[in-house]
Structure 1
Amino acid sequence: MPLITEDLALCTQRLRDGHLLAMPTETVYGLAADARNDDAVHKVFALKGRPSSNPLIVHLHDAAQAGEWAALIPPQAARLMAAFWPGPLTLVLPARDDVLRSVTAGQNTVALRVPAHPLARELLQRFAGGLVAPSANRYMSISPTSAEHVAQQFAESDLHILDGGPCRVGLESTIVGVLPGEPPRLLREGMLTASEIERVLGEPLQHGAAGQLRVPGQHHKHYAPDTPALRFQQPPTDALTDPQCAWIWCGTPQITAGPALDLSADPEQYAQGLYAALYALDNLGVQRLLIQTPPQGEAWGAVHDRLARASQPLD
């Protein structure tokens, strides 16, 4: 069974020995492995059940290490690093030839991030190298935002989990591609918005990947609970009295017979609590999970993206 620990020395040594480790970040918990160890990287794919065509993000202690992984750091990327690292921003850059293609899923690009979580930063400083760290969950299931979520996902494993408490951001990082000959591109929405990034760049972001570029988190079904999840604009009145329906509300809760959680109408608070709410309600054995659709607007973009992959529209 998994071991939840706060022992940094033990966790660092586990990584050096080629083992996997669940580590906290400000976004979600990651399933970490030495990004220079091909065997360890393959263990990540195997334990998650993740297809090898899905690239991994390399986590670094600071921006000074980026040149060990990227063949080129364009000026726009350097500006974004200075503004948002450490933080919930991943940059896709041209990869050096010595970067494992198991990490990049065979592509000539590499995704890099410097997380802001203090325990992740200390772990990375001690390890003194890059760590791949996709979300520490089974492929396409709910991303974990606590050590307990990770232990639930991998209950039959001997995985060590570095406990850093609940994740502050709660949704995966924003991904931006900065590649030669192309305008900067928003490749995955996160709580760091396009407007914030564009203010630093001084130019607009294009949306979506060019050509065949692949980045994490783009499968149409992702982040999903086992319980059938449906999102609504107007609550179905028959379900309000059904104790087998669980609810997630967005600031305007109604009285229900089944269990319910209100994540508030604040996008940051909602994002921080979303995956934990999905875990809690998914574990109750109800028949349906009904999710009130949040407001529109850029601040809610990442939330809408995750809900669209985790649930189906009811109306």
Structure 2
Amino acid sequence: MPQLTTDLDLACARLRAGQLLALPTETVYGLAADARNLAAVAQVFALKGRPSSNPLIVHLAAAAQAADWATDISPAARRLMARFWPGPLTLVLPARHDVPREITAGQDSVALRVPAHPLARQLLERFGGALVAPSANRYMSISPTSSAHVQQQFADSDLLILEGGECQVGLESTIVGLLPGEPPRLLREGMLAPASIEQVLGEALQRGVEGSVRAPGQHHRHYAPGTPSWRFHQAPPEEALADPQCGWLWCGNARPSAGPALDLGDNPDEYAQGLYAALYRLDNLGLQRLLIQSPPAHAAWAAIHDRLSRASTALD
């Protein structure tokens, strides 16, 4: 059974001993291990059931540590670090030759970020090194935004969880690739708007992944509840409204239904913060199906659309 703690010294001792730790970030809870301890990194892949072809994000205490992991750090990368770190932005940069390729999925690039959650920052500063910290869940299942979610995911383990309350952003970080000879590329949508990044860069971001998968979270099915889930854009299926075994997730203007329903409203930041928690609540009810109202087709909802498209199947 996982155990909760707020003891940073105990948390650091676990990490230094090569053990895993679940820690809060502003995005989601991460399953952390010493990034230089390859046996500990292997435990992360094993516990999550994550394939080794999926790269990990290295979490740093400060931007100055980026030079320990990346080479050829461009002026554009430094501008983004200065503006958005600490915060929910991951940068994919050229990896130093001594960066373990177990972390990078064998590639010559490495993903780095400085989290903004105060406990994560205190832990990283006290630990003194870098941590890999993919989401603290089983591979492809719903990402955790509270310690209770982590406990549910790893109920049969003795994982130590650093209790940090509910995550404030609620979706995984925005990922941008800045590699030599390539234009800046948006590799994963997050709640940090691409327009804000482009303003700092002074140029447009290219969209889509080319070549190797440089960033996590790109599988077509991801962030998904166990309950079969569909999303609808127009009117909801009328027969489903009368079905008590059908759960609902609304984006404002909820319709009366026989089955349980949650309405996250029409504010994208508030919706993102509550999305995974809502999916956990509905998924735990033993329903036969879950119907999700698609949010508006506006840029502010892009990251939410990305997560929902990987967690559910379109009805219309």
For this structure pair, what is the TM-score category when the shorter chain's length is used for normalisation?
over 0.9
Deviations 1:73-109, CA, capped at 9 Å, x for gaps:
1011000000100000000000011111111011010
| Equivalent residue number for residue 241 of structure 1 | 242
Conserved in 1, the CA contact under 8 Å of 2:49 and 2:138?
Answer: yes
Q: Distance in 2 between matches of 1:215 and 1:208?
A: 11
Report the identity percentage. 72
Where does 1:22-101 land on structure 2 (aligned, <5 Å)?
A: 22-101=22-101
Q: Distance in 2 between matches of 1:213 and 1:305?
A: 16
| Equivalent residue number for residue 219 of structure 1 | 219
Runs of 4 or more off by more than 3 Å in structure 1? none
Conserved in 1, the CA contact under 8 Å of 2:92 and 2:214?
Answer: no
Where does 1:1-315 land on structure 2 (aligned, <5 Å)?
A: 1-233=1-233, 234-315=235-316
Q: What's the CA shift for 1:277? A: 0.3
Q: Which runs of 5+ in 1 are unaligned?
A: none
Q: Distance in 2 between matches of 1:252 and 1:7?
A: 43
Q: What's the CA shift for 1:260? A: 0.5
Matched position secondary structure for 2:292: strand
Q: Distance in 2 between matches of 1:208 and 1:96?
A: 25
Q: What's the CA shift for 1:21? A: 0.3
Q: What's the CA shift for 1:241? A: 1.3
Matched position secondary structure for 1:110: strand
Q: Distance in 1 between matches of 2:54 and 2:213?
A: 10
Q: What's the CA shift for 1:113? A: 0.3
Deviations 1:117-155, CA, capped at 9 Å, x for gaps:
000000000001110000000000000000000000000
Conserved in 1, the CA contact under 8 Å of 2:54 and 2:213?
Answer: no
Q: Distance in 1 between matches of 2:214 and 2:192?
A: 20
Matched position secondary structure for 1:53: coil
Q: Distance in 2 between matches of 1:43 and 1:212?
A: 24
Whichever residue aligns with residue 101 of structure 1, its letter is: R
Conserved in 1, the CA contact under 8 Å of 2:109 and 2:214?
Answer: no
Q: Distance in 2 between matches of 1:221 and 1:209?
A: 16
**Deviation larger for 222-231 or 202-211:** 202-211
Matched position secondary structure for 1:308: helix
Whichever residue aligns with residue 272 of structure 2, its letter is: A
Aligned residue pair count: 315
Q: Distance in 2 between matches of 1:232 and 1:184?
A: 33
Matched position secondary structure for 2:186: strand
Matched position secondary structure for 2:239: helix
- What TM-score, normalized by structure 1, do the two folds share? 0.99
- What TM-score, normalized by structure 2, do the two folds share? 0.99
Whichever residue aligns with residue 54 of structure 1, its letter is: N
Deviations 1:5-36, CA, capped at 9 Å, x for gaps:
11111011100100000000000000000000
Whichever residue aligns with residue 249 of structure 1, its letter is: W
Matched position secondary structure for 2:278: helix
